[in-house]
């Protein structure tokens, strides 16, 4: 019984969303264009469950770079309506179109002479008649067996809000990098914002020695810089190779008299290099592809200017 009821709810709500497809018309297009051209903020207002959905739509718009905030309809008439400016655009959400708190706002909205878009399930309601554009989210039935609890109607409204945001996102040519700007604290933001130069080791922190250095110096450099590697350079400070602690272990397995061995005899030539302006996520891809844990950063003369380790990327929260 419970499973069947749950399936019925999902069926009703999915049909409510599906019914919106045929209503995507010129009014929807006009709304998207107005959102795109809005010089102020997009103010979403509502009450009750519609208000909760409005908060989510406002949040979604803000996440794609559209200045937006939610205005509680009941609080608005007690002073919060002062947040609205003449450059703003209002989206009022009310399934019935007769919510007293919303209707009480209409005279003030008209005095601001701003665009009013209504999202309602009753296209002949007072709110609809007073709006510049009406987006119809009427549903055949609510998923609630009593037909009282907003379910299918709120789901349809939420879906329409997402459709507006995504259509606007596409119209503006919004990219992942743009999204990251508004989500700097998230993992996606870090992947798309943090660059190699932001977290690489520079200056005296770079493990480096000449190719003629003896093994004891190699061991000291790797140990003191604590990155598990050292860069090998020639007299002109150009990168010629790299030595890892793994190279040292393999050397110990092969030779007994190792302390007179020079760096150039055990180094790996042509080490992997990454450009400092590359994303740290790109550096990680290179490391994973070649099963290595460090990358060298060089300048145009092949002089080492930095080094980045896998642990640096992990600490930065890129993954």
The tens place of each residue's pLDDT in the chain, 319 residues long, gives 899 989 999 999 999 999 999 999 999 999 999 999 999 999 999 999 999 999 999 999 988 888 999 999 988 877 788 888 899 999 999 999 999 999 999 998 888 899 999 999 999 999 999 999 999 999 999 988 776 688 999 999 999 999 999 999 888 887 766 565 555 555 555 666 788 999 999 999 999 999 999 988 898 999 999 999 999 999 999 999 999 988 888 887 776 667 778 888 889 999 999 999 988 888 989 999 999 999 999 999 999 999 999 998 888 877 6
pTM for the full predicted model: 0.66
Confirm if 296 and 239 have CB atoms less than 8 A apart. yes
* Residue in this structure with the two tokens 């708190």, named with its chain if needed: 101
Confirm if 152 and 139 have CB atoms less than 8 A apart. yes
pLDDT score of 99: 93
- CB neighbours (10 Å) of residue 292? 17
Pairing of strands 42-46, 89-93: parallel
**Sign of the Cα pseudo-torsion (169, 65, 17, 131, in order):** negative
Q: What CATH number should be reported for the domain whose range is 2-174?
A: 3.40.50.10490
Domain with CATH 3.10.580.10 in the chain: 196-315
- Fold (topology level) of 196-315: CBS-domain (3.10.580)
pLDDT score of 256: 61
Domain with CATH 3.40.50.10490 in the chain: 2-174
């Amino acid at each position: 019984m419970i499973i069947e009821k749950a399936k019925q709810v999902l069926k009703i709500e999915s049909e409510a969303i599906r019914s919106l497809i045929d209503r995507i018309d010129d009014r929807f297009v006009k709304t998207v264009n107005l959102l795109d051209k809005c010089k102020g903020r997009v103010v979403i207002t509502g009450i009750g469950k519609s208000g909760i959905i409005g908060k989510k739509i406002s949040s979604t718009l803000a996440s794609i770079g559209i200045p937006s905030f939610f205005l509680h309809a009941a609080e608005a008439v007690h002073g919060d309506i002062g947040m609205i400016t003449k450059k703003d655009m209002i989206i009022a959400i009310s399934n019935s179109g007769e919510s007293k708190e919303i209707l009480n706002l209409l005279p003030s909205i008209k005095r601001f002479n701003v665009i009013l878009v209504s999202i309602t399930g009753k296209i002949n309601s007072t709110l609809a008649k007073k709006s510049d554009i009406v987006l119809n989210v009427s549903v055949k039935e609510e998923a609630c067996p009593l037909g009282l609890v907003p379910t299918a109607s709120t789901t349809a409204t939420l879906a329409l809000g997402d459709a507006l945001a995504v259509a606007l996102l596409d119209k503006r040519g919004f990219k992942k990098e743009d999204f990251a700007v508004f989500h700097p604290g998230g993992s996606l933001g870090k992947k798309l914002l943090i660059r190699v130069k932001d977290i690489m080791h520079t200056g005296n922190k770079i493990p480096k020695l000449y190719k003629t250095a003896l093994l004891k110096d190699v061991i000291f450099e790797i140990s003191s810089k604590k990155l598990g590697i050292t860069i090998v350079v020639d007299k002109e400070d150009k990168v010629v190779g790299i030595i890892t602690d793994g190279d040292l272990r393999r050397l110990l397995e092969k030779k007994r008299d190792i302390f007179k061995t020079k760096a150039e005899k055990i180094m790996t030539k042509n080490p992997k290099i990454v450009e400092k302006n590359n994303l740290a996520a790109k550096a990680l891809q290179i490391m994973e592809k070649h099963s290595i844990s460090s990358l060298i950063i060089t300048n145009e003369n092949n002089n080492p200017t930095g080094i980045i380790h896998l642990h640096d990327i992990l600490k930065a929260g890129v993954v």
